[in-house]
Amino acid sequence: MKTFSEFNSALERWFEKTARELPWRETNDPYKIWVSEIMRHQTQIELVAKDFYPQFIAKFPDVKALAAAEWEDIHAVWSGLGFYDRARDMSRAAKIVTEEFGGKLPRDFTTLKTLPGIGSHTAAAILSLSQDSKMAVIDSNVSKILRSLWPDKPVFDSAKSLINSSSSGRMWNLAIADLADYLKKGEKIEGELGDLLPENIFVAAVSKRKKTSPKNKQRVVAVGVACIYKDGKYLIQSRPPGKSFPGSWEFPGGKKKEGEGFRDCVKREIKEELGIEISVEPFFHEIVCNFQSTQLRLRFHLAEIMNDEVPYPLEKQALQWAPTSDFDNIDFLKTNAGALVELKKMNNK
């Protein structure tokens, strides 16, 4: 069995050579670390680092700036990240911090956790990365590493022993997070650290996929989307309970059948979903999203209702007619972002 000091020494040397350069790692400002932690939840790190984090910090450089901001301004910068409740919680928390703590985030774990949107994981990350506190930041991926190395010990006991014997709480948390990310992607860990790690943490599943996937092409899912307009407004629908992202808004549409054209797909889907006949124009926007085994292709079409029919949703989800001026205040799915921009441009011509 590996000793904690042996693992820590190897981890630190590996991290010195491989540490990722990310903008929030260049600061010990608790506010900026808080922003990065909230943004990175269920979002690709590269996307946050390149676009959303720099834009947000430029617009709201500190807690007081965020507290003073209107929701419309926050939404405009956050738009595209999704999970808008996170941004609303940050706005609420910023106001509390400004009013009750003079614009400075609390420096103790218990008080931090009382703020909206900040749980144990986020509080530990803020304190560890901003003031080098030896508080382990444990997620499911880190847990897998620790459980594979010390299967007979509770994960949090292993983490506490490791971080307490490390040279820096901040460094240890950053290093173990990078290691988890590398392993999850199936990348080989070189050197003494790689020699200490079992081969079946994440690598086995990834290796198996790599051996079998080349013969299998990505499954393509094509979706036709209707941007139905009337009197300067567009018909949108909420995602119903039981589906992903319930309560978020989107333009109606659905999957294209094999051999079916996109415009015919849109007509059929709208008839099935909303019970109305529409005329459909050629697509004005397309987005392609690549996932591990699936490619999602969406085409957005302008459309108009024929015969003054009234749409009635089959799944009884909410409908509304929204002008482009309201788009920034509506929680749209991220896949709709590009189409929203194009529709605004059309409206301004």
At 274, which CATH number? 3.90.79.10
Q: Which residues participate in catalysis according to the annotation?
A: 37
* Residue 204 is assigned to a structural domain of this protein: no
Token couple for 119: 């749980």
Q: Using DSSP bridges, classify how beta strands 278-290 and 249-250 pair: parallel, antiparallel or unpaired.
A: unpaired
pLDDT in tens, 71-115: 889 988 887 776 777 888 999 999 999 999 999 999 999 999 999
The overall average pLDDT reported for the chain is: 89
Taking CA atoms, 129 is separated from 1, 26, 132, 169, in Å, by 29, 10, 6, 8
The percent of residues in the chain predicted with pLDDT above 70, rounded, is 93
* Residue 209 is assigned to a structural domain of this protein: no
pLDDT of residue 205: 39
pLDDT of residue 216: 53
Look up residue 222 and give its amino acid.
Answer: A
- Are residues 192 and 54 part of one domain? yes
Contacts of 303 (CB under 8 A, 6+ apart): 226, 227, 228, 229, 266, 270, 278, 279, 280, 281
Residue 320 is part of which domain span?
A: 219-348
Q: Using DSSP bridges, classify how beta strands 219-230 and 294-305 pair: parallel, antiparallel or unpaired.
A: parallel
- In this predicted structure, the answer to whether residue 44 has a pLDDT above a threshold of 50 is yes
pLDDT of residue 210: 47
Summarize the confidence of residues 237-258 as an average pLDDT: 87
Distance CA 273, CA 248 (A): 17
Distance CA 174, CA 20 (A): 9
* Residue 201 is assigned to a structural domain of this protein: no
* Residue 203 is assigned to a structural domain of this protein: no
pLDDT of residue 202: 63
pLDDT in tens, 176-220: 999 998 888 888 898 899 999 887 676 443 444 444 444 456 788
Q: Which long-range contacts (CB under 8 A, 24 or more apart) does 254-259 make?
A: 254/223, 254/224, 255/221, 255/222, 255/223, 256/222, 256/223, 256/224
Q: How confident is the model at residue 1 (pLDDT cuts 50, 70, 90)?
A: low
* Residue 56 is assigned to a structural domain of this protein: yes
pLDDT of residue 208: 43
* Residue 157 is assigned to a structural domain of this protein: yes
- Count of other CB atoms within 10 angstroms of residue 182: 16
CATH number for the domain that contains residue 142: 1.10.340.30
Q: How confident is the model at residue 349 (pLDDT cuts 50, 70, 90)?
A: low
CA diameter of the chain = 75
* Residue 211 is assigned to a structural domain of this protein: no
Number of domains in the chain: 2
- Are residues 230 and 187 part of one domain? no
Place of tokens 């499911």: 140
pLDDT in tens, 289-314: 877 778 889 999 999 999 888 998 87
pTM for the full predicted model: 0.60
Summarize the confidence of residues 252-277 as an average pLDDT: 92
- In this predicted structure, the answer to whether residue 62 has a pLDDT above a threshold of 70 is yes
pLDDT of residue 42: 65
pLDDT of residue 57: 97
- Count of other CB atoms within 10 angstroms of residue 329: 12
* Residue 150 is assigned to a structural domain of this protein: yes
> With b meaning 16 or more CB within 10 Å and e meaning fewer, what string describes 76-109?
ebbbbbbbbebbbbbbebbbebbeeeebebbeee
